[in-house]
A and B are shown apart, each in its own frame.
Chain A
């Protein structure tokens, strides 16, 4: 059975000008121990979707569909049950750790808090567990008494990971966990996450706009555009052989050093993400698409199989015509 299953999840924000659809019908499932990478531009809905999984969105956001965590619908949970699920079953590593940590509380108290709140440990046990967690994430134990401003960016991100692990959750959602970090520190943090996930058999949803990082961390990738998944499949297949033109543009944006094709030839994608209040007709990507045909402005697109087994799907009319019988 899958650990997490999303059925037709939609999120819209109510603003004076109307309803802004941020996520428009996303279905996906995640097996225990599996790592899924969620990629897309700012405004594609990837962070909104991640926040919706634990109902962390503000009140003006309306979430519909089903979010089944271990078979139980998160959207139908009572407040007390939801509190129990947060941190203990699923936890979150936010982007920008300097803002996510409380500047006036000691590191050890912040890591211990979810354990104490959930009654999973006595204060003495929590203290031991904090020391153990700090060691696992590679921070010296004396840092426990310190404050977040005394730490470097990489160290703060390690504290965030220690917090996420504190209650031994089965799912970790990491939103841009290494953005804003230097390459070497990013490599350290990713290596740490990789080993912790393997050791603790945790499932991971990792969000980033850097496809190459996601491909190196995840089993599967899902690419979002204008609130929908436009391509999904085995990580390496999607990264190296994307079927959707948008995924291809994302993959090409970060060059492979040494690849003659990208030398003195940076590749971007023209245009801007669509305004969610005025989405283009047909395929939402068609105004920016380098290979759009005459039908794309009117065609209804859905995720069609992009490989024979159907483990790789893409929402592009070219895929339908290629693979369909």
Chain B
């Protein structure tokens, strides 16, 4: 069953007098008990998409559906929504108040929602997040904890409201290698124990391989390839996904794309990846007779269904 869905979502901003199309037509669904990785480079729109799914940004057009019903933007409706869908931020040092104890940090959610049994909720959330026994941590301040423990406190803060879905933005990017696996294992355990779904926003393909069921690769406001992790990450069909995988440290033949991720105020015509595409530049697209389509013919928005899909003229030939 689909829990959270983006339907033909567009989010735009004014940027230096121009219009930035940060999210430019996205269909995406997260099912119950499912972990989906949203992968892309800085500036591809993945964080804007996540914020819009949380109701923190309003879509320019299209809609966010939770449990099949469109999101309502009244403050009462959003408050109820955020009990169910919780955000886990990167950089726990930045998202925890240095002058609040662990207890206060985790109790904030239950207080806002006026839940009873605050102490029990906090203790249970801490122990679910792997901080055991919880009593040992209640009175600690963030600076007394290690990086991994801080990230567990942030996760406990989200768990205290008993949500059904976590949206985690780079949950391990600022953590040490040794702690990284522990936090990822925690997300998998929460899914197993509580049936908790997750949308994990990351630029780390190894993370997707470690914990996600499905992956969606985003480029310049659109999802360019999506499908089951095994299929997309071992047999990628979009040249962009192929390039991202090829630059992982142990890969034999890296395809290093030149330049920075492009500008959402200047989305190229045709396939939006064509100015950097190695398949087009290498002549393979011309051989297949799709090069003019690559340059001039826009691609349709991929559906949110669980099967593998690719937005590429060359892959579709």
Q: Which residues of A contact B (CB under 8 A)?
A: 41-42, 152-155, 180, 182-188, 191, 209-213, 215-216, 249-250, 252-259, 262-270, 272-273
Interface size range of chain B in the complex:
35 or more
Q: Is B59 an interface residue (CB 8 A)?
A: no
Q: Is B133 an interface residue (CB 8 A)?
A: no
A255 touching B177 in the complex, CB below 8 Å, given contacts A182-B42, A272-B146 = no
Please state if A185 and B260 are interface contacts (CB–CB under 8 Å). yes
Contact mask B138-152 → A, CB, 8 Å, 1/0?
000000001111000
Indicate which residue in A213, A259, A268 contacts B249 across the interface (CB closer than 8 Å).
A213
Q: Which residues of B contact A213 (CB under 8 A)?
A: 249
Please state if B205 and A266 are interface contacts (CB–CB under 8 Å). no
A251 to chain B, nearest CB (A): 9
B220 to chain A, nearest CB (A): 13
Please state if B178 and A255 are interface contacts (CB–CB under 8 Å). no
Q: Which residues of A contact B41 (CB under 8 A)?
A: 182-185
Please state if B230 and A255 are interface contacts (CB–CB under 8 Å). no
Q: Which residues of B contact A268 (CB under 8 A)?
A: 178-185
B91 to chain A, nearest CB (A): 11
Q: Which residues of A contact B173 (CB under 8 A)?
A: 180
Please state if A262 and B209 are interface contacts (CB–CB under 8 Å). yes
Please state if A41 and B176 are interface contacts (CB–CB under 8 Å). yes
Please state if A270 and B182 are interface contacts (CB–CB under 8 Å). yes
Residue of B nearest to A255 (CB): B206
A-B CB contacts (within 8 Å), total count: 117
A198 to B142, CA, bound (A): 44
B245 to chain A, nearest CB (A): 6
Q: Is B307 an interface residue (CB 8 A)?
A: no
* 13 other A-B residue contacts (CB within 8 Å) besides A183-B204, A250-B178: A41-B178, A153-B42, A155-B260, A183-B248, A187-B254, A187-B256, A209-B176, A254-B206, A254-B249, A255-B210, A259-B209, A266-B188, A268-B182
A257 touching B206 in the complex, CB below 8 Å, given contacts A184-B41, A272-B148 = yes
A218 to chain B, nearest CB (A): 11
Q: Is B31 an interface residue (CB 8 A)?
A: no
Q: Which residues of B contact A (CB under 8 A)?
A: 41-42, 146-149, 173, 176-185, 188, 203-206, 209-211, 229-230, 233-234, 243-245, 247-250, 254, 256-258, 260-261
A266 touching B181 in the complex, CB below 8 Å, given contacts A182-B41, A257-B209 = yes
Q: Which residues of A contact B205 (CB under 8 A)?
A: 183, 257
Please state if A183 and B203 are interface contacts (CB–CB under 8 Å). yes
A255 to B206, CA, bound (A): 6
Q: Which residues of B contact A216 (CB under 8 A)?
A: 249-250
Indicate which residue in A153, A154, A185, A253 contacts B177 across the interface (CB closer than 8 Å).
A253
A184 to B258, CA, bound (A): 9
Please state if B177 and A182 are interface contacts (CB–CB under 8 Å). no
Please state if B244 and A250 are interface contacts (CB–CB under 8 Å). no
Q: Which of A155, A215, A265 has the most CB of B within 10 A?
A: A265
Q: Which residues of A contact B183 (CB under 8 A)?
A: 268
Residue of A nearest to B180 (CB): A253
Return the 8 tightest CB-CB contacts between A and B, nearest first: A268-B181, A268-B182, A266-B184, A187-B247, A253-B177, A212-B249, A269-B178, A266-B210
B207 to chain A, nearest CB (A): 8
B265 to chain A, nearest CB (A): 15
Q: Which residues of B contact A257 (CB under 8 A)?
A: 205-206, 209, 233-234, 245, 248
A54 to B182, CA, bound (A): 35
Residue of A nearest to B246 (CB): A187
Q: Which residues of B contact A249 (CB under 8 A)?
A: 178
Please state if A188 and B256 are interface contacts (CB–CB under 8 Å). yes
A41 to B148, CA, bound (A): 12
Please state if A264 and B210 are interface contacts (CB–CB under 8 Å). yes
Please state if B256 and A191 are interface contacts (CB–CB under 8 Å). yes
Indicate which residue in B184, B209, B247 contacts A263 across the interface (CB closer than 8 Å).
B209
Q: Which residues of A contact B188 (CB under 8 A)?
A: 264, 266
Please state if A266 and B256 are interface contacts (CB–CB under 8 Å). no
B148 to chain A, nearest CB (A): 7
Q: Which residues of B contact A211 (CB under 8 A)?
A: 177
A209 touching B177 in the complex, CB below 8 Å, given contacts A187-B254, A187-B256 = yes
